[in-house]
Structure 1
Amino acid sequence: MYSSVAQLAAQQTVNLEVGGSSPPGRIPMNNSINWLVFNYLQTKGYKRASENFLHESDFMNNVPKFRTNRDVNVIEYLHSRNTTSKNSAEDYQKSYSSAHLWIMETLEIYRDELFELLYPLFVHFYFDLKVKGFNEEANNFFENNKSHHEALHFEELNLIKKKEEEIREKFRTEKYTVELSDYPFTMFINFIQQSNFVLILKTLNQFINVLILPVKERKKLAKRREKREQEQKKQELTSFESDNVLSYNQQGIQIGIETSFYAEEAEINENDPENEKEKNQFSDLVVLDVDEFENLRYQPRKASIAFYTFFHCYEKLNTIELNPELTYIAAGFSDSTIKYWKTNYKENGSGNSIEKPVLLSGHSGSIYSLKINSKNTSMLSASGDGTVRHWSLDLGKSLVCYKGHYGAVWDVDFFTDNYYFATAGIDKTARLWALDYSHAIRIFAGHYSEVNCVKIHTKNQYLATGSSDKTVRLWDIRDGKAVRLFKTQDGHDGFITALAFSHNGNTLTSGANDGSIITWDIRTGKKRKKFKDHSGSINSLDYIKRNEEVFASGSNDNTIKIWDYQESPKSYQTKNTPIYRVMFTPENILLASGPYKKIDFKKQK
């Protein structure tokens, strides 16, 4: 039998019978994919993979002796039968979606390797659909699945649409090389065989060169590649900063009402003689600035801080969420659970009580961020399992699970309309979502490292992201393009960990894990002021209401600080509790919370 197999591999041909009973000497259709897979492995020289395939598959024992036909090639034959199907366009989407789902559900240690196979499959499937005249289906396929690859191939995807003929020629004539270790490749081959996906194997054989590397060699190669990419990113960022930041930040942005409207109206009024008379008539009157009058109610006074301490959970507690009305407190833990408490806060001053916690389960990874909507009816959770969940606080149940990030989701934030929300992830992207869509409707790609935090602008026109590449970016949600890059030579020396907008939307404040805080002028993209008084990572920032000069920060150094441009910061120290969350209420009471860290007296001795 093995000699027969070798003969088949050498000739790469076999006569196949589809459907019905098979006469002697022909392979039944239910075994054709097995022959095809084995033939592919043999002709490519994947000795170990072909041996593993023979070992795990019993198809050879069920196939009678066969005769070969030099006029029929296995791959071309099966491909021709597949492409004559009426649903061939749907077959591409089905094959791709199944491969994507299988890769995302495989073991994490192999996921990154296997995902490298998905990009060339995606590109060639798109080109195949175009060549066959399925233009509408091809465009739908591209738009529906491009988000899977924007984090790593953002520029290439843009070029595919702009220079389609040129890119297609390159992909069709130069095989795309993918480096895999042996076991993940064997897993993928078994997936193709079990799922009967001929389209995938045909594309793999014709356009993709799989280079099998020993595990040790691949690890060394991965380290060298990672180091090379990091150096390249540093050079790109330095070059970008020195040459283009000024012009980049000169892009026009709109904060609030369009100013051109006022300019046009002022010009009209200036030329109106009636307005000139009116101006002279009232010129001696003093007009009180309404905004200044309103601000009298919110003048800074001695801070009132309400602090909630979590005990016996320092090692497990990752994130805390509060709402301004003091009616809910929520916490996310590393064991993938969420707990929230109703406080029954009484505004008449008679005190408040805390009910027993409600336990939420559904994630399979650590919880890194929580956000309660402004109506206090639901909450979003971001997890290390790569998903975001929408929870009903009334029912205590998960409503929707949102998937799209490749890896942990670090942060989540609601828009003020409580319908849209944004996320930040380890895959170097931020994403825009709507509650009734399970997939992202916009992807913001451009950071060189993971995106740690995201914040929605007060006018809902923009969102800000902070990254481990030590930069902050401002994005226009309408087209997904970055309109500001906040980065200077004397900027943050650490990863960006917290963001906050002033309430008029003109200032963005960022905090980093080196303890530094910087305020930025959104209109110009320039740094306003740098504060360096914390000795630990900045976890949370928030502005006082109706005052654009005062904000609070919470840090791992166990302190809360209230900053004022005109005064020295006021510092409030806890005994041994890092500050995970700070938030001002509409009455300018500062809410704060963190987990108490038990003091180890033995270590101190």
Structure 2
Amino acid sequence: MSGEVRSSAEAIRALLEHFRQKGFKRAELALLHESAPIDDSDPNIAKSNSQQLEPIDTSVSQQIDEELRKVILLMNRSGYSGPDPRIELHRMESAYSDLRDWIDGSLDLYKTELHAVLYPMFIHTFLELVRRGFSDHARAFFDRFGTEFRGGELEQDNNQLSSRQKELFSIAGISSYQHLLENETALLFLKNRYELYLSPYAFELFLGFMTDDSSRMFMLRTVNERCRIERTSDVSSSSSDVHQRGGFLAESERNGMLKKDVLWGRLKPTQYLLPDTIEENAKGAGDGDDMEEDEEAQKPPVVEADGTISASHVPLPKFRIGAKGIEMPDDLKERVALSSSNLPSILCHTFANTSGCGLNSVSVSKDGSVVVGGFQDSSLRFWDCKSGASTTCVGHQGPVYSTSIALDNKHALSSSEDGTIRLWNLELKTDLVAYRGHNYPVWCVSFSPLGYYFASGGHDRSCRVWCTERTVPLRIMSGHLADVDSLTWHPNCNYVATASSDRTARLWDVRTGDCVRIFGLLNGAVTSVAISNDGSRLAMGGEGGVIDEWSIAAGTKIQSFHGHSGTVW
């Protein structure tokens, strides 16, 4: 009987500790009342009872074993109030320090991948100290242990900081619980699981250390609630590789998307060109032909042997043969194969003396005849490359960050810090419509390869697909954990690729609005993304100067290109 009593007492003691940590005062006192009658002869207990809780019927408590009643009463009389906050503070700091020292003393074979665990543990320990009101200790903890992650003192110039340094720079100013709730980086860590990769033996070593001492319970709980550990077959020995693989990306989510088929092929000319003659337009008007077309429409689109898709998911605009800016079937045949002796030609435009006016964005038309620039003073400037004439237009209420020119060279789009996208008529030199939907600055905007549709991305972490005829978005793609910094359309107009500061690029299905591929993680924010002309490959670049090439169909990395010393824009 005494063993059962001790077990029950320990369970109740654990519940009381949990209630006091969470601040559930009424639940705590209710448990004490239900577990044992309160001895009102003790003035401290009587006072506490009268101030904090209404009188409760204690008839059920009378049935509790006498020895258990004495244990609970003793806990109450002795002023048991859970762990002392100062003791908890010391435990949290000591647990992190012990983990750090243990990893530094580990075998070199596993030290690198184990060291990746320290970063999320450091962030969550700092945030927990702030949450519990230990602001001064949190600042001391940050200054003491944060140096190894930020590589020295944090600089103010964000262009010179890595993604990890930017995260540290963002949370460095948190000094209260209210600051924590308003900080985007802190919420990113608190609302998402940090992905970690450990080899099986390193995982066993880490788990053994965490469970070896009960004082490390906070760290173990953090790993369980805030992290996701993926066990890999290989042992990572490169610190850059470990940093690149760790982050807010679920490997299971990415692998699940690989089961979705992607129509990566090109469009057939018949899918966007109108028949050239009346005879061709009237061809296939019989009932039998209509039936065949209906059967063809019911078949799921596929990528055919010639690299084209059998049908498009998305309704496409139709053009007559010879329409300006539309690629004809004969154009494909006249292309010259690229080689070391046949390099592609490049048209470059140089803008001089732009430091004073703040040139943020430049777009060049497909035929190179029109150039559009967006400026910091909220203005746009259009240049006619043939005549050299230029026109300045104003309509936005903030800096213009991105521009895009339509196929007809008569219209252009611009996105701004004011959260709007504007459609401009280059002949009338004025804006025609403002598209509102983003709640924050819009960093990028782009017409689809065939016009009519366009996409935008911004600080609200979403990508939106629009058409020029409507002022509300047709699709909203949400999934990135940080700003959408860049985007591009797939050549067949069925997909949009986005690049984000969360170190990933994503491919979105325009018809459904779903994410069908995740590419990454890059070693830093992804600031640029492009898709090959045949639609089979995607390239992404960003901080660190590395460009990664990916297979869209397989969702796997093909190769990486190194050479840049700065960010790839």
Which category of TM-score, normalised to the shorter sequence, fits these structures? 0.3 to 0.5
Higher strand proportion: 1
What is the TM-score with the length of structure 1 in the denominator? 0.44
What is the TM-score with the length of structure 2 in the denominator? 0.47
